[in-house]
Amino acid sequence: MATPPTSTKTSLGQRLNDHARAHWPALARVQLRFRGQFAYVDGQLPDGQLLPLLRLRYSGSASRWGFALYRASHDDYQDNYLPTGDTTGSPEEALDCACGLYLSDPTIWRQPHTPPN
């Protein structure tokens, strides 16, 4: 079980915060905490509330991480697939996947009303 070096931890936080600022304006910032090979990623909302988003698994590469989504229904993390179909990818891809789920406008899931013919 490889643990990320300090330089990787630092750059991961910078990368995710830069990406969040550019793509997820609903987040004030991204906070990370590390335990062994895992990086736990929370989004901080403007009111200060923390929203658990995802867990990244370090496997020796700073550019490809394993991905698990936070499951509020179980208060845990479940290994998952990125939209590319891979179980590993860039931290930014993982953040986009989690934020797409937890920060999107819920109306996007509604089917458009189609009048009967």
pTM summary value: 0.86
In a domain, 50, yes or no: yes
Tell me what pLDDT residue 83 has: 87
Nearest to 69 by CA among 93, 50, 105, 48: 93
What CA–CA distance (Å, rounded) separates 72 from 5? 29
In a domain, 48, yes or no: yes
Tokens of 104: 């999107």
Tell me the per-residue pLDDT of 73-114, one tens digit each, with 9 for 90 and over.
999 999 999 988 999 999 999 999 999 999 874 443 444 544
Q: What is the DSSP letter of 81?
A: -
Residue 66: domain span: 6-105
In a domain, 37, yes or no: yes
In a domain, 114, yes or no: no
In a domain, 111, yes or no: no
In a domain, 27, yes or no: yes
In a domain, 116, yes or no: no
Tell me what pLDDT residue 22 has: 94
What CA–CA distance (Å, rounded) separates 90 from 111? 31
Q: CB neighbours (10 Å) of residue 39? A: 23
Number of alpha carbons in the 13 Å side-chain half-sphere of residue 18? 8
